[in-house]
Amino acid sequence: MRGLPRQAKSALEKARDSGLLAVEVYNKPAVKFKSGCYISLMVIAWTSLLHAVFFKRKFKPFYKKENGRYMTVDGDFKYWELDECLRQYFKADTGNPVRKNLEFFIPLRNKIEHRSMPEIDASIFGECQAMLLNFDEILEKEFGTKYCLRECLSFSLQMFPSAESLVTAVMHHPDTKPVVEFIQQYRSTISQDITASGKYSFKAFLIQVANHKSENALPIQFIHYDKLSEEQRKQVSQFGAMVKFKEVPVANLNIMKAGEVVKKVQGALGNPKIQRGNRQVDRFNLTVHAVCWKKYKARPSGGSSNPEQTDYRYCIYDKMHNDYGFTQAWVDFIVEKLRDPKEFDSLYKIVPPAAGTSIA
Protein backbone atom coordinates (compact mmCIF):
# COMPACT_ATOMS: atom_id res chain seq x y z
CA MET A 1 0.00 0.00 0.00
CA ARG A 2 3.03 2.22 -0.42
CA GLY A 3 2.14 5.66 -1.74
CA LEU A 4 -1.46 5.70 -0.50
CA PRO A 5 -2.62 8.25 2.09
CA ARG A 6 -2.92 6.83 5.61
CA GLN A 7 -6.72 7.09 5.66
CA ALA A 8 -6.95 5.37 2.28
CA LYS A 9 -4.79 2.48 3.55
CA SER A 10 -6.92 2.05 6.65
CA ALA A 11 -10.18 2.08 4.68
CA LEU A 12 -8.77 -0.33 2.09
CA GLU A 13 -7.70 -2.83 4.78
CA LYS A 14 -11.14 -2.65 6.36
CA ALA A 15 -12.79 -3.16 2.95
CA ARG A 16 -10.75 -6.27 2.14
CA ASP A 17 -11.15 -7.77 5.62
CA SER A 18 -14.92 -7.25 5.53
CA GLY A 19 -15.14 -8.80 2.06
CA LEU A 20 -13.13 -11.86 3.09
CA LEU A 21 -15.24 -12.32 6.23
CA ALA A 22 -18.44 -12.00 4.19
CA VAL A 23 -17.40 -14.88 1.91
CA GLU A 24 -16.23 -16.98 4.86
CA VAL A 25 -19.54 -16.54 6.69
CA TYR A 26 -21.64 -17.23 3.60
CA ASN A 27 -19.78 -20.45 2.82
CA LYS A 28 -20.02 -21.91 6.34
CA PRO A 29 -22.47 -24.85 6.15
CA ALA A 30 -23.58 -24.37 9.77
CA VAL A 31 -24.69 -20.76 9.22
CA LYS A 32 -28.44 -20.78 8.60
CA PHE A 33 -29.12 -17.21 7.49
CA LYS A 34 -26.24 -16.66 5.11
CA SER A 35 -27.62 -13.64 3.26
CA GLY A 36 -28.20 -11.51 6.35
CA CYS A 37 -24.63 -11.80 7.63
CA TYR A 38 -23.14 -11.61 4.14
CA ILE A 39 -25.05 -8.47 3.11
CA SER A 40 -24.18 -6.62 6.34
CA LEU A 41 -20.47 -7.35 5.90
CA MET A 42 -20.47 -6.57 2.18
CA VAL A 43 -22.18 -3.22 2.77
CA ILE A 44 -19.34 -2.41 5.18
CA ALA A 45 -16.83 -3.66 2.59
CA TRP A 46 -18.27 -1.54 -0.22
CA THR A 47 -18.59 1.56 1.97
CA SER A 48 -14.98 1.24 3.11
CA LEU A 49 -13.78 0.59 -0.45
CA LEU A 50 -15.41 3.77 -1.75
CA HIS A 51 -14.07 5.73 1.23
CA ALA A 52 -10.59 4.47 0.27
CA VAL A 53 -11.15 5.59 -3.32
CA PHE A 54 -12.15 9.09 -2.20
CA PHE A 55 -9.19 9.40 0.17
CA LYS A 56 -6.87 8.24 -2.63
CA ARG A 57 -8.30 11.04 -4.76
CA LYS A 58 -7.65 13.46 -1.85
CA PHE A 59 -11.37 13.98 -1.34
CA LYS A 60 -12.81 13.67 2.18
CA PRO A 61 -15.99 11.52 2.31
CA PHE A 62 -17.57 13.46 5.18
CA TYR A 63 -20.97 15.11 5.44
CA LYS A 64 -20.95 18.91 5.57
CA LYS A 65 -23.12 21.44 7.34
CA GLU A 66 -24.77 24.31 5.49
CA ASN A 67 -21.89 26.57 6.51
CA GLY A 68 -19.41 24.24 4.78
CA ARG A 69 -17.90 22.79 7.95
CA TYR A 70 -17.67 19.03 8.33
CA MET A 71 -20.30 17.40 10.53
CA THR A 72 -19.12 15.49 13.62
CA VAL A 73 -20.71 12.83 15.82
CA ASP A 74 -19.19 12.32 19.29
CA GLY A 75 -16.09 14.16 18.15
CA ASP A 76 -15.54 12.12 14.97
CA PHE A 77 -16.27 13.19 11.42
CA LYS A 78 -19.55 11.82 10.05
CA TYR A 79 -18.61 9.61 7.10
CA TRP A 80 -20.78 9.21 4.03
CA GLU A 81 -22.97 6.14 4.13
CA LEU A 82 -23.08 3.80 1.14
CA ASP A 83 -25.97 5.50 -0.67
CA GLU A 84 -24.15 8.85 -0.60
CA CYS A 85 -20.92 7.15 -1.71
CA LEU A 86 -22.76 5.74 -4.72
CA ARG A 87 -24.12 9.17 -5.65
CA GLN A 88 -20.63 10.67 -5.48
CA TYR A 89 -18.86 7.79 -7.26
CA PHE A 90 -21.32 7.14 -10.11
CA LYS A 91 -22.62 10.73 -10.39
CA ALA A 92 -25.23 10.95 -13.19
CA ASP A 93 -24.85 7.29 -14.21
CA THR A 94 -28.09 6.30 -12.47
CA GLY A 95 -28.66 3.22 -14.63
CA ASN A 96 -25.30 1.58 -13.92
CA PRO A 97 -26.02 -2.11 -13.08
CA VAL A 98 -23.31 -2.14 -10.38
CA ARG A 99 -25.03 0.80 -8.73
CA LYS A 100 -28.46 -0.80 -9.12
CA ASN A 101 -27.15 -3.97 -7.50
CA LEU A 102 -25.95 -2.05 -4.44
CA GLU A 103 -29.10 0.08 -4.26
CA PHE A 104 -30.99 -3.21 -3.96
CA PHE A 105 -28.99 -4.26 -0.91
CA ILE A 106 -29.03 -1.00 1.08
CA PRO A 107 -32.75 -1.05 2.01
CA LEU A 108 -32.80 -4.87 2.03
CA ARG A 109 -30.13 -4.92 4.75
CA ASN A 110 -32.26 -2.61 6.90
CA LYS A 111 -35.28 -4.86 6.45
CA ILE A 112 -33.60 -8.16 7.30
CA GLU A 113 -31.08 -7.23 9.99
CA HIS A 114 -33.55 -8.04 12.79
CA ARG A 115 -35.06 -11.09 11.09
CA SER A 116 -33.83 -14.62 10.39
CA MET A 117 -34.90 -15.50 6.85
CA PRO A 118 -32.79 -18.32 5.38
CA GLU A 119 -35.54 -18.94 2.81
CA ILE A 120 -34.51 -15.85 0.80
CA ASP A 121 -30.92 -17.05 0.29
CA ALA A 122 -31.57 -18.92 -2.96
CA SER A 123 -33.78 -16.14 -4.34
CA ILE A 124 -31.11 -13.44 -4.09
CA PHE A 125 -28.06 -15.63 -4.74
CA GLY A 126 -27.40 -14.04 -8.15
CA GLU A 127 -27.40 -10.52 -6.72
CA CYS A 128 -25.16 -11.62 -3.83
CA GLN A 129 -22.57 -13.16 -6.17
CA ALA A 130 -22.61 -10.07 -8.43
CA MET A 131 -22.10 -7.85 -5.38
CA LEU A 132 -18.87 -9.73 -4.65
CA LEU A 133 -17.56 -9.89 -8.22
CA ASN A 134 -18.24 -6.18 -8.72
CA PHE A 135 -16.41 -5.41 -5.46
CA ASP A 136 -13.29 -7.22 -6.65
CA GLU A 137 -13.48 -5.54 -10.05
CA ILE A 138 -13.63 -2.02 -8.56
CA LEU A 139 -10.87 -3.00 -6.12
CA GLU A 140 -8.64 -3.98 -9.04
CA LYS A 141 -9.58 -0.94 -11.11
CA GLU A 142 -8.82 1.55 -8.33
CA PHE A 143 -5.89 -0.11 -6.51
CA GLY A 144 -4.46 -2.87 -8.69
CA THR A 145 -4.55 -6.66 -8.96
CA LYS A 146 -2.50 -7.34 -5.83
CA TYR A 147 -5.33 -6.10 -3.61
CA CYS A 148 -8.02 -8.31 -5.18
CA LEU A 149 -9.76 -10.86 -2.99
CA ARG A 150 -9.22 -13.50 -5.66
CA GLU A 151 -5.53 -13.33 -4.80
CA CYS A 152 -6.43 -14.76 -1.38
CA LEU A 153 -9.19 -17.26 -2.13
CA SER A 154 -11.48 -18.85 -4.64
CA PHE A 155 -14.35 -16.58 -3.85
CA SER A 156 -17.44 -18.03 -5.50
CA LEU A 157 -20.32 -18.28 -3.07
CA GLN A 158 -21.65 -21.76 -2.36
CA MET A 159 -25.43 -22.04 -2.62
CA PHE A 160 -27.06 -24.60 -0.36
CA PRO A 161 -30.67 -25.51 -1.19
CA SER A 162 -33.32 -24.04 1.08
CA ALA A 163 -36.18 -26.14 2.34
CA GLU A 164 -38.64 -23.32 1.65
CA SER A 165 -39.50 -21.16 -1.33
CA LEU A 166 -40.40 -17.50 -0.94
CA VAL A 167 -44.07 -18.34 -1.44
CA THR A 168 -44.19 -20.97 1.30
CA ALA A 169 -42.04 -18.78 3.54
CA VAL A 170 -44.67 -16.04 3.45
CA MET A 171 -47.42 -18.58 4.16
CA HIS A 172 -45.59 -20.07 7.16
CA HIS A 173 -43.93 -16.88 8.41
CA PRO A 174 -46.16 -13.81 7.74
CA ASP A 175 -43.49 -11.45 9.11
CA THR A 176 -41.37 -12.19 6.03
CA LYS A 177 -43.97 -10.69 3.69
CA PRO A 178 -42.63 -7.08 3.72
CA VAL A 179 -39.15 -8.32 2.76
CA VAL A 180 -40.45 -10.53 -0.06
CA GLU A 181 -42.62 -7.67 -1.34
CA PHE A 182 -39.62 -5.33 -1.33
CA ILE A 183 -37.52 -7.80 -3.35
CA GLN A 184 -40.29 -8.19 -5.91
CA GLN A 185 -41.03 -4.45 -6.07
CA TYR A 186 -37.39 -3.47 -6.53
CA ARG A 187 -36.88 -5.98 -9.32
CA SER A 188 -39.98 -4.62 -11.06
CA THR A 189 -38.53 -1.08 -11.09
CA ILE A 190 -35.37 -1.85 -13.08
CA SER A 191 -35.11 -2.25 -16.83
CA GLN A 192 -34.69 -5.59 -18.58
CA ASP A 193 -31.20 -4.55 -19.73
CA ILE A 194 -30.08 -4.10 -16.13
CA THR A 195 -31.80 -7.30 -14.99
CA ALA A 196 -30.01 -9.25 -17.73
CA SER A 197 -26.61 -7.80 -16.82
CA GLY A 198 -24.20 -9.97 -14.87
CA LYS A 199 -23.18 -6.80 -13.03
CA TYR A 200 -26.61 -6.68 -11.42
CA SER A 201 -27.18 -10.41 -10.92
CA PHE A 202 -24.52 -13.02 -11.68
CA LYS A 203 -25.42 -15.51 -14.39
CA ALA A 204 -23.49 -18.51 -15.63
CA PHE A 205 -24.28 -21.65 -17.55
CA LEU A 206 -22.94 -25.18 -17.21
CA ILE A 207 -22.56 -26.82 -20.62
CA GLN A 208 -21.53 -30.44 -21.08
CA VAL A 209 -18.35 -30.76 -23.15
CA ALA A 210 -18.63 -33.15 -26.09
CA ASN A 211 -16.00 -35.77 -27.09
CA HIS A 212 -14.41 -35.91 -23.66
CA LYS A 213 -12.01 -38.83 -23.22
CA SER A 214 -13.05 -39.88 -19.72
CA GLU A 215 -16.03 -42.23 -19.47
CA ASN A 216 -16.22 -42.00 -15.69
CA ALA A 217 -16.63 -38.25 -15.34
CA LEU A 218 -19.25 -35.82 -16.55
CA PRO A 219 -17.22 -32.98 -18.12
CA ILE A 220 -18.76 -29.56 -17.59
CA GLN A 221 -17.64 -26.21 -18.97
CA PHE A 222 -18.36 -23.11 -16.86
CA ILE A 223 -19.57 -20.23 -19.05
CA HIS A 224 -19.87 -16.63 -17.80
CA TYR A 225 -22.89 -15.09 -19.55
CA ASP A 226 -21.31 -11.63 -19.89
CA LYS A 227 -18.31 -13.15 -21.73
CA LEU A 228 -20.45 -14.75 -24.46
CA SER A 229 -20.59 -13.33 -27.98
CA GLU A 230 -23.90 -12.03 -29.33
CA GLU A 231 -24.31 -15.22 -31.37
CA GLN A 232 -23.65 -17.39 -28.30
CA ARG A 233 -26.17 -15.38 -26.28
CA LYS A 234 -28.76 -16.01 -28.96
CA GLN A 235 -28.09 -19.74 -28.73
CA VAL A 236 -28.37 -19.63 -24.94
CA SER A 237 -31.69 -17.82 -25.25
CA GLN A 238 -32.95 -20.47 -27.66
CA PHE A 239 -32.36 -23.43 -25.38
CA GLY A 240 -33.12 -21.40 -22.25
CA ALA A 241 -36.68 -20.77 -23.38
CA MET A 242 -38.63 -23.93 -24.15
CA VAL A 243 -41.67 -22.00 -25.40
CA LYS A 244 -41.46 -18.73 -27.28
CA PHE A 245 -44.57 -16.89 -28.36
CA LYS A 246 -44.83 -15.05 -31.64
CA GLU A 247 -44.26 -11.33 -31.12
CA VAL A 248 -46.81 -8.91 -32.54
CA PRO A 249 -46.70 -5.08 -32.63
CA VAL A 250 -47.96 -3.53 -29.39
CA ALA A 251 -48.79 0.14 -28.99
CA ASN A 252 -47.19 2.04 -26.09
CA LEU A 253 -44.88 -0.87 -25.26
CA ASN A 254 -42.75 -0.09 -22.17
CA ILE A 255 -44.78 3.07 -21.50
CA MET A 256 -46.58 3.23 -18.16
CA LYS A 257 -49.38 5.25 -16.63
CA ALA A 258 -48.88 7.54 -13.64
CA GLY A 259 -50.23 4.94 -11.21
CA GLU A 260 -47.60 2.41 -12.25
CA VAL A 261 -44.87 5.04 -11.94
CA VAL A 262 -46.05 5.80 -8.40
CA LYS A 263 -45.99 2.11 -7.46
CA LYS A 264 -42.46 1.62 -8.80
CA VAL A 265 -41.00 4.77 -7.25
CA GLN A 266 -42.65 4.14 -3.87
CA GLY A 267 -41.25 0.60 -3.87
CA ALA A 268 -37.75 1.66 -4.92
CA LEU A 269 -37.63 4.24 -2.13
CA GLY A 270 -38.41 1.58 0.48
CA ASN A 271 -42.18 2.23 0.76
CA PRO A 272 -41.98 5.38 2.98
CA LYS A 273 -45.19 6.55 4.71
CA ILE A 274 -46.61 9.84 5.99
CA GLN A 275 -49.38 10.51 8.48
CA ARG A 276 -52.59 11.78 6.88
CA GLY A 277 -55.18 12.38 9.59
CA ASN A 278 -55.65 9.13 11.47
CA ARG A 279 -53.99 6.92 8.89
CA GLN A 280 -50.69 6.40 7.14
CA VAL A 281 -50.47 6.80 3.37
CA ASP A 282 -47.71 6.36 0.81
CA ARG A 283 -45.32 9.29 0.86
CA PHE A 284 -44.90 9.16 -2.91
CA ASN A 285 -48.41 9.27 -4.32
CA LEU A 286 -50.25 10.54 -7.38
CA THR A 287 -50.36 14.10 -6.07
CA VAL A 288 -46.61 14.17 -5.44
CA HIS A 289 -46.04 12.62 -8.85
CA ALA A 290 -47.98 15.48 -10.44
CA VAL A 291 -45.74 17.93 -8.58
CA CYS A 292 -42.73 16.07 -10.00
CA TRP A 293 -43.72 16.27 -13.65
CA LYS A 294 -44.52 19.95 -13.22
CA LYS A 295 -41.31 20.77 -11.35
CA TYR A 296 -39.03 18.77 -13.64
CA LYS A 297 -40.95 19.75 -16.80
CA ALA A 298 -41.60 16.20 -18.01
CA ARG A 299 -44.88 17.24 -19.70
CA PRO A 300 -47.04 20.34 -20.18
CA SER A 301 -49.91 21.16 -17.84
CA GLY A 302 -53.46 20.09 -18.61
CA GLY A 303 -55.21 22.22 -21.21
CA SER A 304 -51.98 23.15 -22.97
CA SER A 305 -52.34 24.09 -26.64
CA ASN A 306 -49.25 21.97 -27.34
CA PRO A 307 -49.75 18.77 -25.32
CA GLU A 308 -47.16 16.92 -27.41
CA GLN A 309 -44.30 19.11 -26.15
CA THR A 310 -42.99 16.67 -23.54
CA ASP A 311 -39.50 15.73 -22.48
CA TYR A 312 -39.48 12.63 -24.70
CA ARG A 313 -36.90 10.93 -22.48
CA TYR A 314 -39.46 10.75 -19.71
CA CYS A 315 -42.95 11.24 -21.11
CA ILE A 316 -44.89 10.47 -24.31
CA TYR A 317 -48.15 12.10 -25.41
CA ASP A 318 -50.81 9.70 -26.73
CA LYS A 319 -52.94 11.67 -29.18
CA MET A 320 -55.49 8.88 -29.69
CA HIS A 321 -56.37 8.74 -25.98
CA ASN A 322 -55.39 12.34 -25.18
CA ASP A 323 -53.27 11.31 -22.21
CA TYR A 324 -49.65 10.71 -21.24
CA GLY A 325 -47.42 7.71 -20.64
CA PHE A 326 -44.12 7.65 -18.77
CA THR A 327 -40.86 5.80 -19.38
CA GLN A 328 -38.60 3.71 -17.15
CA ALA A 329 -36.06 6.54 -17.44
CA TRP A 330 -38.61 8.77 -15.70
CA VAL A 331 -38.90 6.29 -12.83
CA ASP A 332 -35.09 6.13 -12.52
CA PHE A 333 -34.84 9.93 -12.62
CA ILE A 334 -37.40 10.44 -9.83
CA VAL A 335 -35.90 7.73 -7.63
CA GLU A 336 -32.45 9.31 -7.96
CA LYS A 337 -33.83 12.78 -7.15
CA LEU A 338 -35.88 11.70 -4.16
CA ARG A 339 -33.09 9.73 -2.51
CA ASP A 340 -32.04 13.20 -1.37
CA PRO A 341 -34.25 13.87 1.70
CA LYS A 342 -34.13 17.64 1.13
CA GLU A 343 -35.37 17.24 -2.43
CA PHE A 344 -38.20 14.96 -1.28
CA ASP A 345 -39.18 17.41 1.48
CA SER A 346 -39.18 20.30 -1.00
CA LEU A 347 -42.01 18.66 -2.95
CA TYR A 348 -44.28 18.89 0.07
CA LYS A 349 -43.95 22.67 0.07
CA ILE A 350 -45.78 22.56 -3.26
CA VAL A 351 -48.28 19.78 -2.52
CA PRO A 352 -51.84 20.98 -1.75
CA PRO A 353 -53.36 20.12 1.67
CA ALA A 354 -55.27 17.07 0.43
CA ALA A 355 -52.12 15.28 -0.75
CA GLY A 356 -52.75 11.75 -1.90
CA THR A 357 -56.36 12.36 -2.99
CA SER A 358 -56.03 14.05 -6.37
CA ILE A 359 -55.07 12.29 -9.61
CA ALA A 360 -52.10 12.83 -11.95
pLDDT at 337: 92
Is residue 63 within 8 Å of 70, Cβ to Cβ?
yes
For the segment 232-283, what is each residue's pLDDT rounded down to a tens digit? 656 555 544 433 334 344 556 678 999 999 999 999 999 999 888 889 999 9
How far apart CA 188 and CA 339 sit, in angstroms, is 18
What are the residue ranges spanned by the domains of the chain?
6-196, 204-240, 258-347
- Of all helices (H) and strands (E), which one includes residue 179? helix 177-189
- pTM more than 0.75: no
pLDDT at 153: 58
Banded model confidence at residue 9, pLDDT cuts 50, 70, 90? very high
For the segment 306-330, what is each residue's pLDDT rounded down to a tens digit? 898 898 889 988 888 889 999 998 9
pLDDT at 101: 95
How far apart CA 290 and CA 77 sit, in angstroms, is 39
* String of DSSP letters for 61-110: -B-B-TTSPBPEETTEE-B--HHHHHHHHHTT-TT-HHHHHHHHHHHHHH
How far apart CA 196 and CA 203 sit, in angstroms, is 8
Is residue 23 within 8 Å of 41, Cβ to Cβ?
no
For the segment 184-228, what is each residue's pLDDT rounded down to a tens digit? 888 888 888 888 788 888 765 444 444 545 544 444 444 555 556
For the segment 18-66, what is each residue's pLDDT rounded down to a tens digit? 999 998 888 887 777 788 889 999 999 999 999 999 999 999 999 999 8
